[in-house]
Amino acid sequence: MSSYFQSSREEILRDYFELLRFPSIGADKLHLRDCVNCAMWLKKWLEKIGFSASLEMSEKHLGSPPVLFASRKGDEASPTILFYGHYDVQPPEPLEKWETEPFEPVLKDNERVYARGSQDDKGQFFSFLCGMKALIEQGAKLPNIKILLEGQEESGSQMLSDIAESLSEKIKADVLLVCDTSAASELRPAIIAGLRGVAHLTIKLDAASGDLHSGEHGGLAPNPALGIAQIVSTLHNCDGSIAVRGFCDGILMPSEKEIRLANESTVSEDEYEKTFGVKPCGGEEGLSMSERNAFRPTIEVNGIHSGYGGPGSKTVIPSSAFAKISMRLVPGQSPRRVVELVKKHLENNVPRGMKLTIDEVNEGSPGFRLPIESPIFRLAQFILEEIDDRGPVFMWEGASIPVVSDLVRASGAAPLLVGFGQAEDAIHAPNESYSLKQFSLTMKWAEKIISAIAE
């Protein structure tokens, strides 16, 4: 473990637990005050260790969680790093699946901390900041450090994406560091060479003016619960490929080397099934797991809701139904274009007698891939070999961090994404956790990469 973690464990865990207690659900307006309080807590924490900090807002996004910007000057003529993370978290539902209170952190068996955000991303970014704090307290040579912590990553980063260009002078940097990704299995370090983009929307089907008796109206009134199942089923072909016309046009295919490296770092089908309790049989037939997860786009139904769901039966024909839909995008796809194609497809497949409404549209961000021979990757490889004798692997994650592309453009920085998440952390699910070993590894990574950039 990091020597600083061992010597400062009590203080670190106290601050970590305090951070986790904020129910900073950025997508929920009812938790805006919690998000602001969380950002203020982080501002004070950074100011105590020598940072100048401010909360950035936008008139266009009044009522959104603030973006925290902090900076600290380094040694004369030293490079500049920009560190990005997010303090917002996913909603904790379903609450009945949690074994502990989601916003009351618990350390179990002196090994893992359980709480919403314990890994994604409070645990990852805070452990990185603790590694940075260790260097500051040791009086180490440091680069110029800039920090951006936002409160909307889990819902699309709309405000930060919109204000990124206006912040370009303030956030100009040489390297963009992100710690919101995963390591390979068994905590082997991983350099993330690409992420998929994301877009999402909500669809609603309406029929009768109110719920109807299924006996009196069965066979007469159209059923939106059935209709929502029918319309979402049109999004895919029988082989799992996407049926929306034009959706996959223009995709930039990965190189043979990228596919080979991605396959090397992907878990086996048996290991996947053992971890998640399901065979990895989703997506397009005939492609490897890594190709389906990292290099191909997807359309997923995140939730369908209609009618009665309580105990016993209630024989109704629901008057409405809605579904949440998200899309993961790859390089070559324009988020705006694919959203329009999906909307047109849905409009062309509305079941008889029903009215379609499409709202909560978020065009999100495009996917990106990075050149694996870049100098910053070579530096990261060297450092990660010092941390772990196995050395790092390259991974192309199927997940998204929507704002990274915008920050790269605005800051001019070379991006480096290294994180220490694991499948057992259960991010976005009940009983999310982060181990003290992962926390300490992240601290060690922070200490080493910041020191190396300073040189």
Domain 197-253+281-365: assigned CATH number: 3.30.70.360
- CATH 3.30.70.360 residue ranges of the chain are 197-253+281-365
Beta-strand pair 67-72/320-329 = unpaired
| 102-128: burial string, b at 16+ Cβ within 10 Å, e else | bbebebeeeebbbbbbbbbbbbbbbbb
What is the pLDDT at residue 264?
86
Is residue 343 within 8 A of residue 337, CB to CB? The reply is: no
- Mean pLDDT for the stretch of residues 118-136: 98
Most confident of 36-45, 74-83, 184-193, 283-292: 36-45
User: Would you place residue 364 in the very low, low, confident or very high pLDDT band (cuts 50, 70, 90)?
Assistant: confident
What is the pLDDT at residue 353?
97
pLDDT beyond 90 at 2? no
pLDDT beyond 80 at 322? yes
How confident is the prediction for the chain on average, in pLDDT?
95
What is the pLDDT at residue 368?
87
User: Would you place residue 317 in the very low, low, confident or very high pLDDT band (cuts 50, 70, 90)?
Assistant: very high
Kindly state the percentage of the chain with pLDDT values over 70. Answer: 100
User: Would you place residue 208 in the very low, low, confident or very high pLDDT band (cuts 50, 70, 90)?
Assistant: very high
pLDDT tens string 29-69: 999 999 999 999 999 999 999 999 999 998 888 899 999 99
CATH architecture of 3-196+367-454: 3-Layer(aba) Sandwich (3.40)
What is the pLDDT at residue 267?
86
- CATH 3.40.630.10 residue ranges of the chain are 3-196+367-454
pLDDT tens string 369-405: 988 889 999 999 999 999 999 999 999 988 778 799 8
pLDDT tens string 225-244: 999 999 999 999 999 999 99
What is the pLDDT at residue 1?
65
pLDDT beyond 80 at 163? yes
What is the pLDDT at residue 447?
97
